[in-house]
Amino acid sequence: MSTQLTEPEQRTDESTTEQPAVEEGEESEGTTIPEWATESEESPGADDDESVRITVFRYDPEVEGKQEPHFDDFYVPWEQGMTVLDALMYARDQFDPSLTFRHSCRQAICGSDALFINGRQRLGCQTQIADLDTPVRIEPLPHREVEKDLVVDMQHFYEQMDAVDPYFRTEATEGGEEQRQSRENREKIKMSTRCIWCGACYSSCNIAAGDNEYLGPAAINMAYRFVMDEREEETIKQDRLEIIEQEHGVWRCQTQFSCTEVCPKDIPLTEHIQELKREAVKKNLKFW
């Protein structure tokens, strides 16, 4: 059994990028302690006066009593530079070893810790606690089946990525010759190559939420990365365009920009989708 959350029921918190209020002169040894970090309430972690409350989604289909989705509060000692992932790891290590979430690189590279933090898709390791309203509400990515706590099933997302054949294909290297790319072309595709397959954009997309077959912004961006690469031959480009112009491809995008807004790597996803729409139109133009 699994559960799946939709955004409306999750968006009970307003997210903000503003710094929380800080009392004037409230500094110690060059470090500014936000006012909110000094709450002290009864909880497993509230044993000092510099803690931050995180409210974490919990669900475990295999454990009696945890099968009903709910939230648990943890009070975590705050320190300068603490990320949401740091707070989660502290809560797991100090209070509840069963708290489950994905992470690996801790430097916004592997894409495994995309979460729904204060009502917005973000990477846990890239998100500073000091940049958030508290308590910090941490949920799994919306529109994906929840397997346990903050872990969602990413299989379908990976299948959509695979569907656009996300590998460099060219016949020109068969002779073993180096194939050079112009600076201009590298510049054009530069942003699209930054994708870390975190799924934040896909989770934020209303179209993907309603159409499970929609390729989604990440996969289309991956197609863009290769369609625009001058080192692939025209015939291969045409094959790629055929994939993205199918019924559940680029034409499903309604230019809502939610994917662009949440992308942790600042990829202009919506722009790339629109460019591919133009390429698809050009491909089908006929002059008699």
Measured from the CB atom, is 114 or 241 closer to ligand FES?
114
Residues 125-144 that bind ligand FES (CB under 6 A): 125
By rule CB under 6 A, what string of x and - marks binding of each residue 59-98 to ligand FES? ----------------------------------------
By rule CB under 6 A, what string of x and - marks binding of each residue 101-120 to ligand FES? --xxxx-xxxxxx-------
Asked if 71 contacts 55 with a C-beta cutoff of 8 angstroms, the reply is: yes
**Residue 55 in 3-state DSSP?**
strand
Smallest gap from residue 262 Cβ to ligand FES (A): 14
Asked if 55 contacts 86 with a C-beta cutoff of 8 angstroms, the reply is: no
**Ordered DSSP codes for 244-277:** HTSTTSGGG-----HHHHH-TT---HHHHHHHHH
Smallest gap from residue 121 Cβ to ligand FES (A): 13
Among the listed residues 52, 123, 161, 195, the single contact to ligand FES using CB under 6 A: 123
By rule CB under 6 A, what string of x and - marks binding of each residue 9-28 to ligand FES? --------------------
Number of residues that bind ligand FES (CB under 6 A): 13
Measured from the CB atom, is 110 or 189 closer to ligand FES?
110
Asked if 132 contacts 34 with a C-beta cutoff of 8 angstroms, the reply is: no
What is the greatest pairwise CA distance in the chain?
A: 79
Smallest gap from residue 125 Cβ to ligand FES (A): 3
Mention every residue, 6+ apart, whose C-beta is less than 8 A from residue 142.
Answer: 5, 6, 7, 10, 116, 121, 203, 204, 209
Measured from the CB atom, is 240 or 265 closer to ligand FES?
265
Smallest gap from residue 286 Cβ to ligand FES (A): 45
Smallest gap from residue 86 Cβ to ligand FES (A): 11
Measured from the CB atom, is 218 or 241 closer to ligand FES?
218
Residue among 277, 102, 82 at smallest CA distance from 196: 102
Asked if 139 contacts 120 with a C-beta cutoff of 8 angstroms, the reply is: no
Smallest gap from residue 124 Cβ to ligand FES (A): 6
Smallest gap from residue 194 Cβ to ligand FES (A): 12
Asked if 116 contacts 144 with a C-beta cutoff of 8 angstroms, the reply is: no
Measured from the CB atom, is 124 or 142 closer to ligand FES?
124
Rounded to whole angstroms, the Cα distance separating 168 from 226 reads 7
Measured from the CB atom, is 87 or 253 closer to ligand FES?
87
Residue among 235, 233, 236, 249 at smallest CA distance from 281: 249
**Ordered DSSP codes for 91-149:** HHHHT-TT-----S-SSSSS-TTEEEETTEEEETTT-BGGGS-SSEEEEPPTTSEEEET
Measured from the CB atom, is 57 or 214 closer to ligand FES?
57
**Residues interacting with ligand FES, by CB under 6 A?**
103-106, 108-113, 123-125
